[in-house]
Each structure stands twice: as structure tokens, then as C-alpha cells.
Amino acid sequence: MTDINKTAVLLVDDEEEFRQATAAALHRRGYQIDEAASGEEALIMLRTQIPDVILLDLKMPGLSGIETLSKIREFAPGLPVIILTGHGTFNDALAGIKLEIVDFIEKPANIELLDIRIKKMLAAETVLPLRERKVSELMVSPALYPKLYIDDTIKTAAQAFKQAIYPVEAAKSKPPATRSAVVVDRQEKFVGLLRFQDILKGILPNFSSSPYSSFFTGMFMAQCKTISRTLVADILDQNITIEMYTPLMEAVHLMVKHHLNTLPVALGENLVGILRQNDLVLEVDKYMNGGGNT
């Protein structure tokens, strides 16, 4: 008999020992638990009663977790489903997200964590499926960054970085930009991002064409003075950009491949934002700790 005062959970898992132990632990925490040993059995049970939430194993004989979820979505599109995964593949995980699961829980399940996830989910006014945020939702405005012209000198660029990183007293309430600057031509067309790392590369001497044969004290100062009139265009690195509607994983790929802390985001030929590694730190933490519904 179902207790209407308790949260009804359908636990679907072919491993009897895991199923019974998890069901008992959740029952002690006040849940009404029904068990199904297969996807087929779960679908039969769902014909007569819809629970508040389903805990669904990803890997099962017969109907897999994804196949079961696909059939559930035919008649219960908004039913909260949490995937239990211990042996899942990337494709299974991706399929689960597309079929609007609300969370992943790794097996063997931490009961306290599972309890917290279920209560937090059901306490929300609206239960939203897992959704990966887009580049357009993470990027910040280019206006936060200093602007340089491609024919400015490195001396001018260094001053811009100094003002961004160490603002004067009157401007200290404004958040400083990261160590990058937006570079445009004289028609205000975006050319690329100049990073402070590019200036450091410019300062580093090319021993094949310099009088230096080794590093020594005073070399850094001499190089700074020597290249101060060099143009930004001469040290600007390859312009790596990403379209604002590109999947987030492609942005990660470009950042790792090209060792970038910041990535320009474009809409056609226009610069519309900057994606920063700092923003990805928050996303990584959120997804690894059960988030992803915002």
C-alpha cells in the first residue's frame, strides 16, 4: 500500500543485493520504495502507478536503462529520473541527458548524497532536466577588457595591462579584467586577443639573432626597452575564436590545444564575448557535484 505522505521512489536495478540494500536505506529515511529487477518489470509497474521519482540503473540485461527511459518518456515526459551509473559509456550518458534525466548518481550509491539530491530536487518549484549551459551563457562582455589598436606599441599594451590589473584608486570598484586585451584595427574590426603571455614571449630574446649567448641579470630590462616600440601586430598570436552557439566541449578543446586562458566568442565577424577558464571552473565543479539544471 502506498503511503501518500511519503515520497514514492521506484528503484530499477537488476543487481538484487544492491537493490535491496539501497531500498532498505532509503526506506529508513522515510521513502516509500518499490523495486523492479528489470526495465520490462518497471514499465509494467508504471502502468498502474507513477512514483515521484525513478532511480534507474544504466546497465541492465534485456531493456537497458536508456531503452527503458526512452519508453518512459513516451507517457511520462516530466517524470524525474535519476540515472544510476557504474559501468556506463559516454554514449549512454549523452543519451540520458537528451532523454531529460535530472541527475547522475555513481554506483555504489552514497545514500546520504542520494537522499539530499532527491529532497533538493523535489523541493524545487520546477524539476528541470540536466542541461549543459551554452558558451553564450558563460561568456563575459568584451567591454570588461582593455582595447588596443593593432598599430599600438607594446609599450602602450603594457600600460593597458597595468591599468587593468592595478587600477587607480578611483577605479578600484570596477572589477579588473584578466590579463588579455581586445585588439582591433582602425575600422574597429576585431583582430584578436593580445595576452600578457604574448608580451612575455616578445621580451624573450631570440638567441639566433641577438647579441646574447646566455641569460644574465639586466637582460630582462634591456629587452623591455628594446622592444617597447614594437607594434602589437608583430607579437599578436594566431586569432583563435569560437562561435557563440558552438558546443562547450569544442571551446574546452581549443583552450587545451592552444593553451588559452581566454577564448574570443564571435557571431559572424563580430566579437560578442570572452569565454574564460575561470567560468569553466564553476561549471566543472557544478557538474561533478550533482548540478546542471540551470
Domains of the chain with bracketed CATH: 8-129 (3.40.50.2300), 137-285 (3.10.580.10)
Contacts of 263 by beta carbon, 8 Å cutoff, 6+ apart: 240, 241, 242, 251, 254, 255, 274, 275, 276
**CA 271, CA 243: separation in Å to the nearest integer?**
9
**CA 148, CA 4: separation in Å to the nearest integer?**
65
Mean pLDDT taken over the chain: 84
Q: Which helix (H) or strand (E) holds 248?
A: helix 248-258
Would you state the pLDDT for residue 1? Answer: 43
Q: Do residues 102 and 73 touch, judged by C-beta distance below 8 A?
A: no
**CA 80, CA 102: separation in Å to the nearest integer?**
6
pLDDT in tens, 184-196: 999 999 999 999 9
Q: Which residue has the cell 522515510?
A: 30
Cell digits for 77? 515526459
Cell digits for 134? 551554452
Q: Phi/psi of residue 193, each to 5°?
A: -105, 130
Would you state the pLDDT for residue 217? Answer: 87
Q: 3-state SS of the chain: helix, strand, coil percent to 5?
A: 40, 20, 40
> Per-residue confidence of the chain (294 residues) as pLDDT tens digits?
455 578 999 999 999 999 999 999 999 999 999 999 999 999 999 989 999 999 999 888 999 888 898 898 888 888 888 888 875 555 666 666 666 667 778 888 789 888 988 887 787 656 666 677 889 889 999 998 999 999 999 999 999 999 888 877 655 555 555 689 999 999 999 999 999 999 999 998 876 666 666 788 888 998 899 999 999 999 998 899 999 888 889 999 999 999 999 999 999 889 999 999 988 988 888 777 655 555
Q: Are strands 53-57 and 8-12 parallel, antiparallel or unpaired?
A: parallel
pLDDT in tens, 119-160: 877 876 566 666 778 898 899 999 989 999 999 999 999 999
Contacts of 181 by beta carbon, 8 Å cutoff, 6+ apart: 145, 146, 147, 148, 157, 160, 161, 164, 193, 194, 195
Cell digits for 183? 585588439
Contacts of 58 by beta carbon, 8 Å cutoff, 6+ apart: 64, 65, 66, 83, 84, 85, 86, 87, 88, 92, 96
Q: What is the CA radius of gyration of the chain?
A: 27
Would you state the pLDDT for residue 156? Answer: 96
Nearest residue to 227 (alpha-carbon basis) of 204, 197, 207, 193: 204
**CA 169, CA 164: separation in Å to the nearest integer?**
12
Length of the chain as a residue count: 294
